[in-house]
Homo-oligomer: A and B are copies of this chain.
Amino acid sequence: MTLATVSFSPGGKEASVEAGVTLASAAALAGVPLRSPCGGQGRCGKCLVQARGKLSEPTAAERRVLSEQELSEGWRLACQAVVVGDAQVSVPASSLVIEHRIVAEGVGRETVVEPSVQKAALRLPLPSPDDARSDLTRVMDALGGRVAPPSRAAALRHLPHAVRAQHGQVTAVVIGGELVDVEAGDTSEACYGVAVDVGTTTVVLYLCRLGTGQVAGVASGVNPQAQHGDDVISRLQFAVSTEDGTRRLQREVVGLINDLVATVCQQAGVSRHAIYEMVAVGNTCMAHFLLGVPPLGLAGKPFAPGFKSGQDVGAAELGIDINPAGRVYMVPGIGGFVGADTVGVILASELDVSNGLRVAVDIGTNGEIVVARDGDLYACSTAAGPAFEGARISQGMRAASGAIDSVTVDGAVRYHVIGDVPPRGLCGSGVVDAVAELVKAGIVDGSGRFRAPEELDWVEEKVRRRVVRNEGGLEFVLAPAEESGTGRPVVITARDVRQLQLAKGAIYAGISLMLSRLGLEPEGIESLLLAGAFGNYIRRESAVAIGIVPAIDGERIVSIGNAAGVGARLALCSTSLRRRAEEIGRRVEHVDLSQEPGFYDHFAEAMALRPLSRLG
């Protein structure tokens, strides 16, 4: 057995591997997350690296993808090149998986960072007797064509001062190929954008340096529209039945976004005038509310939205407090309630270019499910409700300080609290864990029924006495009053278990139906991606144990974080990915679950609290 050392730059990570493994495996061992949309078949060329050292000869697959020139420069496909001895590998940012790629310092040859916003520092000749060109012509000539003249008077208004303030040194701001502003001096470094994930419950906003794609600040807050109902249906009704309802919802979310912009600007020491674009994702209703479009068609079948394609409008028109010349790009949606957030998930996870059977589940107030099979894409939305975000749970709360986020019930009850403080309630992952543990302990049965203490003779006394009867029925005390931060015990009630069953039943039924209409079974899922903040925190065993997701090997279940937000950042930093988002919006087939035969049977079955596989 020969051990070889493979080192990776930038970053300096190393792996000691047996000769005979691929560079891709070595990278995985070293913790360098390479892309692999084709599943290591040497077809997609996305795992491209430049390597020196002892490696196998290029394979036929590599010769198909790479030119002689490239091969001679040491470019290899990591999934094909086999380690023979020590090797040094240089990894372009473009070959890193996307979450890493976008935060990477540099950009590779497949340029990811190509934002719609471009700033160009120009030194203009000042007017002279031989050169009485207008200020505008002076700038347009210096930009050398290919830029459209301004369509707003504001750009012209700044011109005369800007041209004269610093001896002709100006910075032209170009968005989407149009000159939108001219600033005095060289301000080309001050070029930011914000990506915002407008969730029904939570709004998350990222400040990004557009030149590099780096995240310079993050802030989040509770969507103030929640005062009109915590689910999209209540807000739809508010919008269509209240005088000025849509406009109020619009102002509310814009108010929060502006607060978040102020917060990230302060974090990063950046002026809001240096922010030129906002890219937003969100479900179909959130997209309508953000743009102030009455969601009339969404109030009933066939759920025809006002718009579905990507929208590019002025920030000022929406009241978004960034540079007044700035734009807002709303990422396209898919259909019905499946919106731009799902397009963001697909963009970030590259499901649109993946092979095999992959499923992504974005768990928020709604649960969106994407099934990708060899490039064919299907998506649906399930009304999971906000239980996973801690809402509609008697002592539910957001995943913030004081929230119980994991629970174990065996001989004793143990829990973990976010922020190392006394517990005040449960967040989504705490609810899931608690229910999974109560089921495992037999305190709750597979139908979701609480067993009374007198039925629980096999349970240890100190656990059994935590099952108490209250006016609402039975409940389980996770933390007694003396441990709690509120002076009241933290409990999970029979009603809470029912809420979780409804939420997870909707999601499981969605996955199950989507697969069964394709004639597929859950066992065939090669990877199941859990997106959304919740997906980051949930324990996979618990999710499988109570049948939120199909019972497949835990290693096939991957948490991908706030993929919708990552998708928004990608669309912010790359016009070509923005075009890909448009294509995804057109390409994905929207499935209306309520039209599928057997939906209610699946749903009823999927509420069972046990590991689940094929239903129906």
Contact = CB atoms under 8 A, between A and B. Distances in A.
A71 to B, nearest CB: 44
A129 to B, nearest CB: 5
A555 interface: no
A132 B309 contact: no
Given A151-B312, A309-B136, A336-B132, A304 B127 contact: yes
A487 interface: no
Given A136-B307, A296-B164, A309-B137, A302 B156 contact: no
A296 B160 contact: yes
A134 interface: yes
A21 B334 CA distance: 72
Contact of A313 (B153, B160, B296): B153
Contacts of A314: 151-152
Given A159-B307, A311-B156, A135 B297 contact: yes
Given A127-B297, A151-B312, A306 B137 contact: no
Interface string A291-311: 111111100011111111101
Contacts of A318: 153
B134 A309 contact: yes
A454 interface: no
Contacts of A303: 132
Interface in A336-358: 336
Contacts of A152: 313-314, 317
A72 interface: no
A157 interface: yes
A477 to B, nearest CB: 48
A154 interface: yes
Contacts of A312: 151
Nearest to A154: B317
Contacts of A306: 134-136, 156, 159-160
Contacts of A317: 152-154
B304 A129 contact: no
Given A153-B313, A294-B160, A129 B307 contact: no
Contact of A132 (B156, B164, B335): B335
Contact size range, A: 35 or more
A471 interface: no
A206 B595 CA distance: 57
A132 B302 contact: yes
Contacts of A336: 132
A311 B157 CA distance: 12
B153 A296 contact: no
Nearest to A313: B153
A106 to B, nearest CB: 33
Interface string A275-291: 00000000000000001
A150 B134 CA distance: 30
Contact of A305 (B128, B135, B305): B135
Nearest to A240: B160
Contacts of A137: 307-309
Nearest to A149: B309
A312 B153 CA distance: 8
Given A132-B303, A134-B304, A294 B157 contact: yes
A133 B304 contact: yes
Contacts of A465: none
A181 to B, nearest CB: 13
Given A151-B312, A151-B313, A153-B317, A135 B302 contact: no
Interface string A584-600: 00000010000100000
Contacts of A164: 296-297
A488 interface: no
Contacts of A335: 132
Contacts of A149: 309, 311
Contacts of A131: 302, 304
A593 to B, nearest CB: 14
Interface string A252-293: 000000000000000000000000000000000000000111
21 contacts: A127-B297, A128-B302, A129-B301, A129-B595, A131-B304, A132-B304, A133-B308, A134-B304, A134-B308, A135-B307, A136-B306, A136-B307, A136-B308, A137-B307, A151-B314, A153-B291, A153-B318, A157-B292, A157-B294, A159-B307, A160-B294
Q: Across the A-B interface, give the 7 residue pairs with the lowest CB-CB distance, nearest first.
A: A127-B304, A160-B296, A132-B302, A136-B307, A134-B308, A153-B291, A153-B313
